[in-house]
Amino acid sequence: MKTLLYIALLAILTFCTGYFLAQWWIVAFIGFVVALLFKQGILKSGLLTLLVVGLVWFGLAYSIDLANESILSTRIGNLFGGLGPITLAAVSGLIGGVVAMFGAFTGASLQSMINK
């Protein structure tokens, strides 16, 4: 139950900040705070955060790409050797997930030091 609440809170916060705010770095802060609040363990919180934030960022990037008919992603994909829109959205999701994962590692580490 605690894991589902962790995933839901992380997904909602990531979606809301990704949709309404334009700062990419905020996912590190979200990962830090959510991992600090929930006692999941360092590895579990890091991997869950990577998965959830990565999927949310992929969905946001792909939906924005579909809304503008892939104009920008086609041009950027051509700069990187002909990458497609889905590949660019996946790379964006991976970058966001890794940044959030490092924040979650930090939050979970701090939380485990506090509990000792």
What CA–CA distance (Å, rounded) separates 70 from 75?
9
Q: Give me the domain span that covers residue 88.
A: 2-115
% of residues, the chain, pLDDT over 90: 69
The closest alpha carbon to 18, from 86, 92, 98, 85, belongs to 92
Taking 90 as the threshold, does the pLDDT of residue 18 lie above it? no
Band of pLDDT at residue 104, cut at 50, 70 and 90: very high
Name the domain count of the chain: 1
Residue 63, phi then psi, degrees to nearest 5:
-70, -35
Alpha helix segments (H runs only) across the chain: 2-20, 26-37, 42-67, 71-79, 85-115
pLDDT tens digits along 74-87: 898 899 888 889 99
pLDDT reported for residue 51: 97
What CA–CA distance (Å, rounded) separates 7 from 31?
11
